Structure 1
Amino acid sequence: MSIPPRMEQPSALVRFLNLFTEVRPGEAASSVLLALNVYLILSAYYVLKPVREALILAGGGAELKSYAAAGQAVLLLLILPIYSWLASNVSGRLLINSVTLFFAACLLTFYTLAQWQVPLGVVFFLWVGIFNLMVPAQFWAFANDIYDPDTGKRLFVIVAFGASLGAVSGSYLDRLLLGHVGVYQLMLVAAGILVLSLLITNLVAAREKLWQRPATVSTSRPGEPAVAEDSIGQGGAFALVFHNRYLLLIALLMLVLNWVNTTGEYILGRTVLETALAASADGQVSTEQFIGEFYASFYTVVNIAGLLLQLFVVSRVLKYLGVRAAIMLLPLIALGGYILVAMFPLLSLVRWVKTAENATDYSVQNTVRQILFLPTTREEKYKAKQVTDTLFVRAGDVLSALVVYVGSSWLALSIAGFALFNTILVACWLLLAYSIGSHYRRLAPATEDKESTA
């Protein structure tokens, strides 16, 4: 009688991670390292936020800050072709290392200039806006490069948790460090965090043998010749997006999503201000205190809700409903929310609509938009993702600012009017999401068909 082979028992880490998503033996270490990697990147950004605000507000005021935000979109038009050229002419290893070290070196330069009392407000604000988009986009391109669609859909739940945790704990880290090291020294702290994140990137790449893999057809389109795994390709970033319907739809989705969300933030802010002015007129509380207490509570609830959704809901949505349904979830929530706000523009309702929208955006939507690039080519991951996650995101900000200016200055729109405008935008968003989900199913039929029968 033969004895069946002994089944390998999953490690304690695998068993723990399986509380949140399906993790198989051999997958836990790299997924946790990737989560730590993006946690550090987000932490570096949040360490820099108070420096950015101090420099821009002290150097030019809130108006200059608003103008500089629009300038980031123009600057990206110049930077992205340079990044695309670099990606076409160096290996993936050199691209990631050189770009990350460049941003770290910029921080050392800014710190030196600050010691010489050189005005940095506008330049540093623009730089942080570029850094906050390009470095995370490059990280997610790297993570997409490691996993196939089936594995990535499972493990990105863990990786994205690192991003959520970095956003939540980053503000606490600011308060902890600011009183001990000062404003400008935070630049050095962020540079050190970036270098540490780069070490983890290279460690994960070595574990997964990412830059030593042989050529495979998975990095090219069906019918095209296989390419070396560490070769990114010679196409232009903008051409990749505008000549590929799937990528263009993703780019438009990012634009509309950010347009809706930023306009929603205006709706919330205006509602809070009007309520605060009414409360201060009654002598209940000062305007500043009301606004400060409101946003402190609001952000706390949003961050906690986002973390809980990331841990316990995202993997279940992806497993049982699939990407096609998951990508529709946020616009459906936004549609119902803004319809209600258009009818009942009350602070309590606006607050919970934005809480649901932001928490879902930070968890379900953030994970899904990274998954969308899993079935794309290596070149599309590194180049096209930079365009969709930077330029089109900033374009959404610019369009929202234009809508707010026209709606408040020329049309005298009420809060309900802006909510109604957002409702129309969300309807377009739903159409884009449905179309992207259909394209994704054709690109990764095995993973979607598997979930539909679960």
Structure 2
Amino acid sequence: MLLTTNLAILLGSYYLLKPVREALILTEGGAEVKSYSSAAQAVLLLLVVPAYGAFGSRVRRLKLIASVTFFFVSNLIVFYFLGKAGVREGVIFFIWVGIFNYFVIAQFWAFANDLFSESQGKRLFPILGIGSSLGALVGAWAASRLINFVGPYGLILAAAGGITTCIALTALADRWGAQRTGEQESTKSKIPLGKEGGFELIWKDRYLLLIAVLTVLLNVVNTSGEFILSKLVVARSLELFGPGAEMARKTFVGSFYAQFFGWVNLLGLVLQTLFVSRIFRYVGVRGSLFILPTIAFTGYTMILLYPALGVVRLLKILENSTDYSVQNTARQALFLPTSREAKYKAKVAVDTFFVRIGDVLQAGIVYVGTMLAFSISTFAAISVALTLAWILVSVGIYREHKQRIPTVS
């Protein structure tokens, strides 16, 4: 329950920041700048991920998690005051949110993987996922109502308070985890991780490498869909308000995305609460990996044929809600049969750097597509092809996971 509450607050705080991120980047830059900014995150993560691994080799897990989280909270305070002072921080804030989001959530799931065995994780991770979906839903709901009263920068300050609460909950969970299963768990909570870095672990293990490749492909496909949606939303805001009404456009875009995220998270909560545990029971962790790419393949085929804002919005709601529930829980469970070092270091590398490599590839697609004047349908066709590759990689993970855990899991 501590972990579920922690994840709910963490995701709720993040969803206060998502509409702010979209409002700032799209009105100060545009959909193309949004895609290119993702590439900068990957470059920064080449430095951040090894630094994180080195720090994790020197301190116990609670200090690692608390220190990194507190650092991000302090950044939010700085963004608040800069934004209130009129600084145009859309690009920098977008880059920061992308690193923050994947880092703190990867840390959380690494911590959960460290606390539970494979059998416990398979049973309990769907429950933790309910906290994730519920927090995201409440956060998006709150953002859609608060943004018109406190503005984008007020949401930043509210998120900082929520994330600070997560540090205290992590400390309580760490103490509980060390006490509940005796000396072995107590020792794990106190000793630092091994010296191997996250990238080194991934290159040496085919299973981890396949997970990394899957993460890249998943993110290319997903962010391509986000780009398509962003293009259509920006066009709609210009149609309604014109290029000069920047604040009105910011509010419109922020409100659109707050409502969009609300629907995504409502459906995600329903899937997480009613279906994920049953999917795990009947098709297992590895079988559930094929659900999202099947939806994506169908969805982008439809966008290819009819690229209207209403259609894209509906299909992205279905895709994202499945990603945040079924796919996300399955991806977290894939790390249960791995070492502690892989749970923290390799997982953080996968969930940050390799996610952003997907963004880099997608930014390249956007650049080429913009130069060649690709239509929305052409971008959708590229996503269809990449989804087929994603399915093939899922087959490889299925086989590797089956060798590690032969029983249905």
Write out per-residue CA displacement over residues 123-181 of structure 1, whole angstroms, 9 at most, x where no aligned residue.
44332221111111101100111111111112111111211222222133235555665
What is the aligned partner in structure 2 of residue 337 from structure 1?
299
Deviation of the 1:61 alpha carbon: 3.4
The answer for unaligned runs of 5 or more in structure 1 is 1-31, 217-225, 281-287
The 5 Å alignment of 1:377-396 reads 377-396=339-358
Whole-Å Cα distance in 2 between the matches of residues 341 and 124 of structure 1? 30
What is the aligned partner in structure 1 of residue 43 from structure 2?
74
The 5 Å alignment of 1:355-394 reads 355-394=317-356
In the alignment, is the contact (CA less than 8 A) between 1:215 and 1:229 conserved in 2?
no
Call closer, same or farther: CA 1:340–1:103 in 2, change over 3 Å: closer
Alignment of 1:248 with 2:206, yes or no, is no
In the alignment, is the contact (CA less than 8 A) between 2:133 and 2:268 conserved in 1?
yes
Deviation of the 1:183 alpha carbon: 4.9
Q: What one-letter code is carried by the residue in structure 2 that aligns with 1:400?
A: Q
What is the aligned partner in structure 2 of residue 129 from structure 1?
98
Matching residue within 201, 204, 209 for 2:178: 209
Whole-Å Cα distance in 2 between the matches of residues 33 and 158 of structure 1? 11
> Whose radius of gyration is greater, 1 or 2?
1
What is the aligned partner in structure 2 of residue 236 from structure 1?
197
Call closer, same or farther: CA 1:179–1:267 in 2, change over 3 Å: closer
Deviation of the 1:359 alpha carbon: 2.0
What is the aligned partner in structure 2 of residue 198 from structure 1?
167
In the alignment, is the contact (CA less than 8 A) between 1:92 and 1:211 conserved in 2?
no
Call closer, same or farther: CA 1:385–1:109 in 2, change over 3 Å: same
The TM-score, its normalising length taken from structure 2, stands at: 0.85
Q: What one-letter code is carried by the residue in structure 2 that aligns with 1:368?
A: A
Call closer, same or farther: CA 1:293–1:197 in 2, change over 3 Å: closer
In the alignment, is the contact (CA less than 8 A) between 2:178 and 2:189 conserved in 1?
no
Alignment of 1:42 with 2:1, yes or no, is no
Deviation of the 1:290 alpha carbon: 11
What SS is found at the alignment partner of 1:208?
helix
Q: What one-letter code is carried by the residue in structure 2 that aligns with 1:84?
A: G
Alignment of 1:425 with 2:394, yes or no, is no
What is the aligned partner in structure 2 of residue 104 from structure 1?
73
Alignment of 1:172 with 2:141, yes or no, is yes
Whole-Å Cα distance in 1 between the matches of residues 155 and 347 of structure 2? 29
Matching residue within 120, 129, 132 for 1:163: 132
Call closer, same or farther: CA 1:306–1:201 in 2, change over 3 Å: same
RMSD: 3.5
Name which of structure 1's ranges 335-344 and 198-207 shifts more when overlaid on structure 2: 335-344
Whole-Å Cα distance in 2 between the matches of residues 54 and 334 of structure 1? 26
Q: What one-letter code is carried by the residue in structure 1 that aligns with 2:29?
A: G
Q: What one-letter code is carried by the residue in structure 2 that aligns with 1:335?
A: F
In the alignment, is the contact (CA less than 8 A) between 1:211 and 1:230 conserved in 2?
no
In the alignment, is the contact (CA less than 8 A) between 1:43 and 1:169 conserved in 2?
yes
What is the aligned partner in structure 2 of residue 139 from structure 1?
108
Call closer, same or farther: CA 1:145–1:349 in 2, change over 3 Å: same
Q: Higher relative contact order by CA 8 Å / sep ≥ 6: 1 or 2?
A: 2
Identity %: 47
Call closer, same or farther: CA 1:440–1:161 in 2, change over 3 Å: same
Deviation of the 1:440 alpha carbon: 1.5
What is the aligned partner in structure 2 of residue 322 from structure 1?
284
Alignment of 1:61 with 2:29, yes or no, is yes
Write out per-residue CA displacement over residues 245-274 of structure 1, whole angstroms, 9 at most, x where no aligned residue.
111111111110010111123344556788
Deviation of the 1:103 alpha carbon: 1.8
What SS is found at the alignment partner of 2:338?
coil
Q: What one-letter code is carried by the residue in structure 2 that aligns with 1:77?
A: L
Whole-Å Cα distance in 1 between the matches of residues 18 and 290 of structure 2? 32
Deviation of the 1:434 alpha carbon: 1.2
Whole-Å Cα distance in 2 between the matches of residues 293 and 166 of structure 1? 19
What is the aligned partner in structure 1 of residue 374 from structure 2?
413
Write out per-residue CA displacement over residues 87-136 of structure 1, whole angstroms, 9 at most, x where no aligned residue.
11111122112112222233344456667777655444332221111111
The answer for unaligned runs of 5 or more in structure 2 is 242-248
Q: Which has the higher helix share?
A: 2
Q: What one-letter code is carried by the residue in structure 2 that aligns with 1:339?
A: T
Call closer, same or farther: CA 1:228–1:103 in 2, change over 3 Å: closer
What is the aligned partner in structure 1 of residue 359 from structure 2?
397
Name which of structure 1's ranges 425-434 and 301-310 shifts more when overlaid on structure 2: 301-310
The 5 Å alignment of 1:262-277 reads 262-269=223-230
Aligned length: 399
Deviation of the 1:195 alpha carbon: 2.0
What SS is found at the alignment partner of 2:166?
helix
Write out per-residue CA displacement over residues 261-316 of structure 1, whole angstroms, 9 at most, x where no aligned residue.
11123344556788999999xxxxxxx89999986775444332221111111111
Whole-Å Cα distance in 2 between the matches of residues 294 and 140 of structure 1? 30
